[in-house]
Amino acid sequence: MRAFIFPGQGSQAVGMGLALSQASAVAREVFQEVDDALGQNLFRLMTEGPADELQLTENAQPAIMANAIATLRVLLKEGGFSLPDKADYVAGHSLGEYSALCAAGAIDLSTTARLLKLRGQAMQAAVPVGEGAMAVFLGLDFAGARAVAEEAAQGEVCQAANDNSNRQVVVSGHKAAIDRAILIAKEKGAKRALPLPVSAPFHCSLMQPAADAMADALAKAAIQSPLVAVYANVIAAPVADPSEIVRLLVEQVTGTVRWRESVAAMADAGVEQFVEFGGKAVGPMVKDITDKARAISIVKMADIEAFAATL
């Protein structure tokens, strides 16, 4: 069995998608459709920068999705493959869940781009710059990181936001609480505890205004049953019902990204290969989560051709 997986924020880089667009008309079509949907030249920003503008959440989120979907569609269309024939599940990390839903046909590409643009804007606007923060702990498991967050909160918000792997957890909340959490984590045995260069505290209760905005937008969006089951971040389990997909996407804005549990559950269900499209972020996490499966990351045309030859 095989799962196709999609990266989250942080995978963006100036130059992304350029070589793929030069090599494939299929990729160019994806980037053009996203540009048309957003009414902006996002592809130029992706390929030429400036980097600080690409890093903005409202640009990074649709850009990462577009790059991932372009990579997948080149494989499927040029290889003559269909998604259900080659993948048993799809999943994505945070915004990557939208990429996964788009890949599985639950949300069309233009709608996905518009939803992610709004999601990025709403998440950035939810908390004034400087009031929130995030930090990554290396060498602490989820239970340990959650205990650190609870101790550091002291009346403020401090939550375990991303359960990425057995050795990597991200916490999110008020900046002062995150600063305390970094110190406590080191005292509790974390090998490293570092602030993340993000502009907002994602996946914690401070994001409730963004969750409300996404609830309104998703209520108006056309959501279909996916071609293959999608593992949802907040329940670490497959979801197929459109109304449930919407509910979980809203909950995801303030909820923990249960990536470790999602990968482990797919491996327990029989997945032996995880294939990441458009980045090298979530694939390597698989190695730290399970020894039942292997993972590869597909970014370049050569990666696509090499993988297609194995199908």
Q: Catalytic residues, which ones?
A: 94, 203
Q: Are strands 192-195 and 229-232 parallel, antiparallel or unpaired?
A: unpaired
C-alpha dist (Å) from residue 147 to 97, 150, 160, 163, 171: 27, 5, 9, 13, 11
Tokens (6 digits) for 161 = 């936001």
User: Judging by beta carbons within 10 Å of its beta carbon (0-12, 13-18, 19+), is residue 129 exposed, middle or buried?
Assistant: exposed
Amino acid identity at 22: Q
User: Judging by beta carbons within 10 Å of its beta carbon (0-12, 13-18, 19+), is residue 134 exposed, middle or buried?
Assistant: buried
DSSP element (H, E) containing 132: strand 132-138
